[in-house]
Amino acid sequence: MIKNTVLQPPALSAQGPGATGRKIRFVSIGTGIRGCDLLRSARQVPTGECVGTADLYTMHQKAGQEAYGADIPTTREYRSLLDRKDVDAVIVACADHQHRRVVLDCVAAGKDVYCEKPMSHNVADGLAMVEAVQKNKRIFQAGSQRVSSIVYKKATEIYKSGRLGEVTYIEAHTDRNSPSGAWVYPVAPDASPETIDWATWLRDAPERPFDAERFFRWRCFADYGEGVAGDLYVHLLSGFQCVSGINAPPARAYSTGSLTHFKDGRDFPDLLATLYDYPGVAVKMHCNQNNASGEAMVFYGRQGTMEIVDNTVTVTPQDTSPQPEGYSLNGWTAAAKKKYLEEWHAAHPEPAVKLGEVETYSAPHGYDDTADHLANFFHAVETREHVVEDEIFGNNAAIACHMANHSYFQRTVATWDDSTKTMKG
């Protein structure tokens, strides 16, 4: 028997900024793929209002306006947005190598920040961002939206209830098998040094002549992205941190992998597999861009197994009732086996406890966890209440991504030294 439950999301307005009913006025820096998705989701959230955008590429500026469905002011130079006194908060959705600079500018200007995942491009960037956010006493939320998902909330509730028993092993993966899944994104026909401010985009990365492929496929290159670790592990790691309550970098990471198919000049492997040591739990993670197994996270407990696949959590109880030995009696005589079983049943008179049902919990069709993540952020901006996925949480997830890459590229075990906040190995 399987018991299926459809989870009900809270009304987005119910996650409002509080008694004042005021809308949080925000601007968006970076209105490419993700920036536009965020603006589309923001349209559903009544507690926030976009009042400006910035992007370095003309088409993305227009796409941002289209995504929000309003003629909001847009600029190439984000500093003018940060000078505006009527702006409470900023969504940062530019490429990863720009996160540090943009976030530091935002918090120095007194703005709260929603920064896309992975929070940092490298360990030093993440530490500098944590320090700046805390020094300026800003609300910061990293953008791994699963942390606000009703599906992960349910999984967290189940995990914390102890129903799974002791969990010592967690497995997670995101696999996809298409050029798009490996970031072979088309170069837009209008891309040129006139439509893209290449010099600004390149800031904080090594200089090179205009290269539209790098602009659109930045995830493939170590100067701007972190490969599958920064793009995909970070979601799994944030989900794992959220459900398990473990909010720390792993003590150790060991990666293997390969680049077998997408040999297009990229810096990163198209298969990465990592073993992590977290307190009390081993985590195995992989991303394979050559097999479409999708996304799953499995928590293996002594009393039950919990699996999150897309927008569904499934809990399968383990049968831990006492059982007479079977297999090893194959080498016993019939008489010895009979005697053992008679004695065993006499010693275990209770009928076996009935095994619980398999339970599933799913989000309704069309559920948008990004809208919930934005609503949580707007709520925190108004109330100054703490967000779960704050700068420490986001930084810890990002550090685990950097450790996975470090281990792969250095062919070593990466370790985290918390006393010096450094990655070793």
Ligand X SMILES: NC(=O)c1ccc[n+]([C@@H]2O[C@H](COP(=O)([O-])OP(=O)(O)OC[C@H]3O[C@@H](n4cnc5c(N)ncnc54)[C@H](O)[C@@H]3O)[C@@H](O)[C@H]2O)c1
Q: By three-state DSSP, how is residue 212 classified?
A: helix
What one-character-per-residue DSSP string does 264-291 give?
Answer: SS-SS-SEEEEEEEETTEEEEEEEETTS
CB of 147 vs ligand X, minimal distance in Å: 10
CB of 181 vs ligand X, minimal distance in Å: 12
130-169 positions binding ligand X, by CB under 6 A: 143, 145
Q: Which of 24, 27, 29, 67 binds ligand X (CB under 6 A)?
A: 29
Which of these ranges, 8-16, 30-38, 167-175, 327-335, lies near ligand X under the rule CB under 6 A?
30-38
**Strands annotated E in 222-370:** 252-258, 271-278, 281-288, 294-301, 304-309, 312-317, 358-362
Residues ≥6 apart with Cβ < 8 Å to 124? none
* Per rule CB under 6 A, count of chain residues that contact ligand X: 26
CA angle, residues 13, 18, 20, in degrees to nearest 5: 105
CB of 61 vs ligand X, minimal distance in Å: 8
β-pair type (304-309, 312-317): antiparallel
Amino acid occupying residue 399: I
CA–CA dist 139, 121 (Å, integer): 20
CB of 45 vs ligand X, minimal distance in Å: 15
Distances (CA, A) of 62 to 56, 76, 89, 196, 376: 11, 11, 21, 13, 27
Binding-residue pattern over the window 78 to 117 for ligand X, x denoting contact by CB under 6 A: x--------------xxxx-x---x-------------xx
CB of 143 vs ligand X, minimal distance in Å: 5
- Identify which of residues 117 and 252 has a Cβ nearer to ligand X in the complex: 117
CB of 32 vs ligand X, minimal distance in Å: 2
Which of these ranges, 7-15, 27-35, 159-167, 276-284, lies near ligand X under the rule CB under 6 A?
27-35
CA–CA dist 288, 283 (Å, integer): 17
CB of 348 vs ligand X, minimal distance in Å: 51
- Identify which of residues 6 and 33 has a Cβ nearer to ligand X in the complex: 33
β-pair type (24-29, 2-6): unpaired
For residue 351, give the DSSP letter. P
For residue 326, give the DSSP letter. -
Phi then psi for residue 185, to 5 deg, are -80, 145
- Identify which of residues 227 and 301 has a Cβ nearer to ligand X in the complex: 227
Going by C-alpha positions, the residue among 131, 130, 91, 82 that lies closest to residue 110 is: 82
CA–CA dist 270, 361 (Å, integer): 32
Binding-residue pattern over the window 42 to 61 for ligand X, x denoting contact by CB under 6 A: ------------xxxx--x-
197-226 positions binding ligand X, by CB under 6 A: 200-201, 218
- Identify which of residues 78 and 416 has a Cβ nearer to ligand X in the complex: 78
239 touches ligand X (CB under 6 A): no
Q: Which of 34, 173, 214, 286 binds ligand X (CB under 6 A)?
A: 34
Distances (CA, A) of 260 to 7, 269, 417: 41, 8, 33
Helices (H) and strands (E) in the chain, counts: 13, 17
CB of 367 vs ligand X, minimal distance in Å: 14
CB of 115 vs ligand X, minimal distance in Å: 8
Which of these ranges, 32-40, 170-178, 187-195, 325-333, lies near ligand X under the rule CB under 6 A?
32-40
| Nearest residue (beta carbon) to ligand X | 32
Which of these ranges, 26-34, 121-129, 255-263, 354-362, lies near ligand X under the rule CB under 6 A?
26-34
Sign of the Cα torsion 330, 333, 334, 339 reads: negative
CB of 352 vs ligand X, minimal distance in Å: 45
- Identify which of residues 226 and 359 has a Cβ nearer to ligand X in the complex: 226
- Identify which of residues 152 and 254 has a Cβ nearer to ligand X in the complex: 152
Which of these ranges, 31-39, 124-132, 312-320, 352-360, lies near ligand X under the rule CB under 6 A?
31-39
Phi then psi for residue 417, to 5 deg, are -105, 105
CB of 407 vs ligand X, minimal distance in Å: 21
Asked if residue 398 lies in contact with residue 124, where contact means CB atoms within 8 angstroms, the answer is no
Chain residues in the site for ligand X (CB under 6 A): 29-30, 32-35, 54-57, 60, 78, 93-96, 98, 102, 116-117, 143, 145, 200-201, 218, 231
